[in-house]
Chain A
Amino acid sequence: MTNQAWETLSNQAVAAAGVVYFLSLLSYLVQWASLRHVPGYVPVERTTSSRVAVGAGAPAAPQEPPAAEAPSYRAEMTGRLGLLLLALACALHLVSLVGRGMAADPNRVPWGNMYEFTLAGTFVVAAMFLLTRRRLGLAWAAPLVVAIVLTLLMVAVIWLYDPVAPLTEALNSYWLVIHVVSAIIATGTFTLGGLCSVLYLVKERRPDTRVGFLSRVPQPPALDRAAYRLHAFAFPVWTFAVLITGPIWAHQAWSSYWNWDPKEVWAFITWVVYAAYLHARATAGWRGRNAAYLALLGVATLWFNFIGINYFSTNTQHGYASISQPGVTPSGRLAK
């Protein structure tokens, strides 16, 4: 296949993935609609301490509706269909990424600019969700995840699109693979963790809702735990990306391992905020709600760093939003 063909394939795969994500979302919405009168949560008799049944491995288990009120056939079908479509869309999404990489000459990893980074990041969100939905009991979050992925994908296609192009010289390094892939994985996972924290905050206010979507969201402790696990996974990955591979690469490309470049500063701020989140979970008076707010602050700094710094900051060497700068430019005072 020619590079042109790969690029076309990638673009078509993105479009197809978008459509299938949308169908998946519709399917999940139908599932919601058909369940709207079915109580999703029956408060358990509160005992003195919250004991949990043996064998109830999944945190979501206590919130499953009792067997007597089994969800309707339609709800079950649309739920399964939604999942199937989500998996299909995720596969198409992967095809589009591979296509981007193959279309470049020489072939490279498909995260050389913002469009590709967003494409890869949203793929991580979708794939991470598919991988952890059982383990962390996140099945209920499917429509939200699909909506987020679909929105970000549209943003990428409409505003961030860039044709396939060779990399600028500074990016042409194997650290691009290691540094950026870890940043993408961390970004995707932090985003998913942030979603759990939002829902935690919402659910925490109305834990006894009996019908509607909120009733199918797990109880706050389970949400808190899911959020924590996602963050606990993403934080070391982010540390690796920002404080190990980033400085090593910066040292090779720009001569100094830490330049206080705005991108670096914000990556550090994100790191500090998430460190504070993990710290807060172990600090009396900060657990729960305050920790969740910190997680949201973390997501905000993370996305501001990605979008805000690339578009609004003029003095970052990470400015891959446009190619208005030469590959390398002289900087610093030139007085003799």
Chain B
Amino acid sequence: MTATLPEAHADAPEPPDRRTGELTARELGRWGWRQLTSMRTALVLLLLLALAAIPGSVIPQEGVDSLKTSRWQAQHPDLTPIYDRLGLFSVYDSAWFAAIYMLLMISLVGCIIPRLLVYWRALRAQPPAAPRHLSRLPVHVYYKTDEAPGEVLARAAAVLKERGYRLRVSTGSTAGESWVAAERGYLREAGNLLFHLAVVVVLMGFATGGLFGYKGGVIVPVGTGFTNNPTQYDDLDPGSLFDADAMEPFRFTLDRFDIDWIDSGPRQGMARGFNAHLTYYEDLDAPAKTYDLRVNHPLSIGGTQVFLIGHGYAPVITVRDGNGDLVYGGPTPFLPEDAGFRSFGVVKVPDARPQPIGLEGLFFPTYLEVNGDPVNVMGEAKNPTISMLAYTGDLGMDDGDGQSIYELDKSKLTQLKKADGSMFRVDLQPGMTVDLPNGAGTVTFEGVTEWTRLQISRTPGMHVTLGGVVLALIGLLLSLFIRPRRVWVRADVSEGGVTHVDVGGLDRSTAGDVEAEVSQVVAGLRQFDEQAHGPAQPGLAPEKENS
């Protein structure tokens, strides 16, 4: 945006030996620049920005929920390539969205810089001289008085000064040359400019966070730990200029996770009071500290923050293979499928012999069999049960492609069946063990522990953004509620020693309502002679000014 600026304001006199082509190009550039920085263009760009933001709220976004996005893409194979090409899965990072807000920024800066200069001049200028015909102003009051013009104008100056006006007094001797000009409300334009500049600050802060920051998520079962480096994350979404070496070297362990299940009332079954008790070390050799990580109460370590954003169950499952060797053990996070925390999970045992084993199935926190169907009653683990199908064969983990730990690739697996060929399921409650058919091994459900999903993020420039928005709000308030006004008072003596007083008011904002202001000024002017002369006449100009 800054690159185009100097050129646009290059109003240097043109050299005489200029060829015509150059002039045209420059004129074209200038014309284009004027168009771009016009209020109307800014308005259209604003509306375009609003319009462009809509698709992102309708189509699942890669950066917001990539799981949902990939599901949507799988369901709409025809639309996906088109949408993908249009950038509709990441609207807010797309070139066309960026084009709109960059144009808006340029338009804004281009609009603001000339106005800054104008404002700087206006700030030091005197109020403009009184127009010849005050009666032509939107608000005009006229009255006659016995007081001398000097007296009236002195009082006008005092009244207007008291009301916060900047004054300019003319005491000419010729008719129409003695007046007081007054102006106030200079802060409105200052607020306006502040608002627009603050928008630029906000965007810069926002961009800083997006470029240099990162956010990542990790599922941490109770009793396990986490060290802050990229390999430890389940998913990591770094900014394009993010430097992994700059990550704070903290680590923590999740000692305990508390949760309150509401067991009565309209929110029965809802959980609250999540509390993850962490022990953390800010550095490799820093002392241990503890923190109760709760929703809305993130842990800050340096510039990085740790948030509690999810929880679920991790059944502790042990698998022994056909040789009786312990080949798998420990908490296995299952992903909740509904509000009742019926959860889906996968166990992959590539080291089992004679054949690798895969398990896939559900975890029921409170299991109940209703008419032969498994039902999960609530989220609280009152009757924890796992119900899984068992497979043997190639788990496909050696293909080199990263594989989700929550999905079982069954293409090369055989489902285990009972010896009589009927359905075999690993249905276990804590402490129970089942033998897999064909001597494949045994599965033990040791018990249940919980996991928490933590989001860890670093957002540099956050306070710049916040400061920018606050400045924008202050600017907005000034520009909306400060009323810039001009008031002129002219006093002339006519034959007979009667003084004609004209008061004119001009509202320079769009809110208009300068009548009340002028009437108060007039009331101040006439505080001594109201009784003597009756009310002022609205609008009717004295004869001599009629033209």
Residues on A close to B: CB < 8 A? 47, 49-57, 59, 162-170, 172-173, 175, 221, 225, 228-229, 232, 235-236, 239-240, 243-244, 247-249, 251-262, 265-266, 268-269, 272-273, 275-276, 278-287, 301, 309, 313, 315, 323-336
Is there an interface contact between B57 and A169, defined as CB atoms closer than 8 Å?
no
Q: Cα distance A333–B407 when bound, in Å?
A: 12
A-B contact list, 16 entries, CB within 8 Å: A51-B140, A51-B538, A54-B536, A166-B265, A225-B513, A232-B481, A236-B477, A243-B472, A249-B296, A255-B455, A260-B63, A272-B50, A284-B40, A287-B510, A327-B295, A330-B219
What's the least CB distance linking A6 to chain B, in Å?
14
Q: Cα distance A272–B462 when bound, in Å?
A: 21
Q: Which residues of A contact B515 (CB under 8 A)?
A: 52-54, 56-57
Q: Cα distance A286–B47 when bound, in Å?
A: 13
Q: Which residues of B contact A56 (CB under 8 A)?
A: 515
Is there an interface contact between B234 and A336, defined as CB atoms closer than 8 Å?
yes
What's the least CB distance linking B118 to chain A, in Å?
15
Q: Which residues of A contact B538 (CB under 8 A)?
A: 51-54
Q: Cα distance A163–B266 when bound, in Å?
A: 7
Is there an interface contact between B139 and A51, defined as CB atoms closer than 8 Å?
yes
Q: Which B residues between 385 and 401 are near A, CB-CB below 8 angstroms?
A: none
Is there an interface contact between B47 and A273, defined as CB atoms closer than 8 Å?
yes
Q: Which residues of B contact A265 (CB under 8 A)?
A: 53-54, 56-57
The contact of A279 among B46, B64, B455, by CB within 8 Å, is B46
Q: How many of chain B's residues have a CB under 8 angstroms from any CB in A? A: 94
Q: Which residues of A contact B536 (CB under 8 A)?
A: 54
Residues on B close to A: CB < 8 A? 39-40, 42-43, 46-47, 49-50, 53-54, 56-58, 60-61, 63-68, 70, 92, 136, 138-141, 206, 215, 217, 219, 234-235, 262, 265-267, 270-274, 295-298, 305, 307-312, 335-336, 338-339, 341, 379, 402-406, 453, 455-457, 459, 462, 465-466, 469-470, 472-473, 476-477, 480-481, 510-513, 515-516, 518-519, 522, 535-536, 538-539
What's the least CB distance linking B273 to chain A, in Å?
7
Q: Which residues of A contact B472 (CB under 8 A)?
A: 239, 243
Is there an interface contact between B206 and A258, defined as CB atoms closer than 8 Å?
yes
Q: Cα distance A292–B480 when bound, in Å?
A: 18
Is there an interface contact between B462 and A251, defined as CB atoms closer than 8 Å?
yes
Q: A276-B47, A335-B402 are in contact. Are A283 and B40 (CB under 8 A)?
A: yes
Q: Which residues of A contact B295 (CB under 8 A)?
A: 169-170, 172, 253, 327-328
Is there an interface contact between A225 and B512, defined as CB atoms closer than 8 Å?
yes
What's the least CB distance linking A261 to chain B, in Å?
7
7 closest A-B pairs (Cβ-Cβ)?
A51-B539, A262-B57, A255-B307, A255-B455, A265-B57, A330-B310, A272-B50
Q: Which residues of B contact A326 (CB under 8 A)?
A: 271, 336, 338-339, 341, 379
Is there an interface contact between B43 and A286, defined as CB atoms closer than 8 Å?
yes
What's the least CB distance linking B189 to chain A, in Å?
11
Is there an interface contact between B404 and A323, defined as CB atoms closer than 8 Å?
no
* Known A228-B510, A261-B64; 7 more pairs at CB < 8 Å: A164-B266, A221-B512, A236-B473, A248-B466, A328-B311, A334-B235, A335-B404
> In this complex, which of A47, A252, A281 has the most chain B Cβ atoms within 10 angstroms of its Cβ?
A252
Q: Cα distance A165–B267 when bound, in Å?
A: 6
What's the least CB distance linking A207 to chain B, in Å?
17
Q: Which residues of A contact B65 (CB under 8 A)?
A: 315, 331-332
Is there an interface contact between A325 and B339, defined as CB atoms closer than 8 Å?
yes
**Nearest opposing residue in chain B for A271, CB measure:** B50
Q: A165-B266, A235-B476 are in contact. Are A49 and B215 (CB under 8 A)?
A: no
Q: Which residues of B contact A323 (CB under 8 A)?
A: 267, 270, 339
Q: Cα distance A27–B264 when bound, in Å?
A: 45
What's the least CB distance linking B503 to chain A, in Å?
9
Q: Which residues of A contact B453 (CB under 8 A)?
A: 328, 330
Is there an interface contact between A260 and B64, defined as CB atoms closer than 8 Å?
yes
Is there an interface contact between B138 and A279, defined as CB atoms closer than 8 Å?
no
What's the least CB distance linking A194 to chain B, in Å?
17
Is there an interface contact between B64 and A282, defined as CB atoms closer than 8 Å?
no
What's the least CB distance linking A218 to chain B, in Å?
13
Q: Cα distance A255–B308 when bound, in Å?
A: 9
**Nearest opposing residue in chain A for B509, CB measure:** A282
Q: Cα distance A169–B295 when bound, in Å?
A: 7
Is there an interface contact between A244 and B336, defined as CB atoms closer than 8 Å?
no
Q: Cα distance A167–B512 when bound, in Å?
A: 45
Is there an interface contact between A332 and B262, defined as CB atoms closer than 8 Å?
no
What's the least CB distance linking B258 to chain A, in Å?
12
What's the least CB distance linking B172 to chain A, in Å?
26
Is there an interface contact between B46 and A276, defined as CB atoms closer than 8 Å?
yes
Is there an interface contact between B511 and A328, defined as CB atoms closer than 8 Å?
no
